[in-house]
Amino acid sequence: MGTKQQVILSSLADFRRGTDLLDHPGLNKGTAFTDEERSNLGLHGLLPPHVENLESQVVRAYEAYKRKDDDLERHIYLRGLQDTDEVLFYRLLLEHIEEMTPMVYTPVVAQACQQFSHIYRRPRGLFISYPLRGSIPALLRNRANAEVDVIVATDGERILGIGDQGAGGLGIPIGKLSLYTLIGGIRPERTLPIVLDVGTNNAERLNDPEYIGWRHKRMTGDEYFDFVDQFVQAVKKGTSRNLSSIGKTLRPHMPARFFSAIKTSC
Question: Please, which pLDDT band fits residue 160 given cuts at 50, 70 and 90?
Answer: confident
pLDDT at 158 (0 to 100): 86
Q: Residue 252 — pLDDT band, cuts 50, 70, 90? A: low
pTM of the model: 0.87
Distance of alpha carbon 263 from alpha carbon 244, whole angstroms: 7
For 121-148, what is the mean pLDDT?
96
253 or 40, greater pLDDT: 40
Lowest mean pLDDT among 69-73, 174-178, 193-197, 261-265: 261-265
Phi first, then psi: what are they for 85, rounded to 5°?
-155, 90
**pLDDT-derived band at 15, boundaries 50, 70, 90:** confident
pLDDT digits over 55-78, tens only? 999 999 999 999 999 999 999 999
Distances 95 to 52, 55, 90, 101, 223 between C-alpha atoms, Å: 18, 10, 9, 11, 46
CA-nearest of 112, 255, 139, 253 to 196 is 139
| Predicted pLDDT of residue 185 | 95
* Amino acid (one-letter) located at 172: I
Active site amino acids: 105, 176
**pLDDT above 90 as % of the chain:** 81
What are the tens digits of pLDDT across the range 226-251? 999 999 999 988 876 555 555 556 65
> What average pLDDT does the segment 151-168 reach?
92
What integer is the mean pLDDT of 144-161? Answer: 91
What confidence score (pLDDT) does residue 261 get? Answer: 45
- Looking at the DSSP bridge assignments, the partners of residue 128 are 196
Average pLDDT over residues 158-182: 94
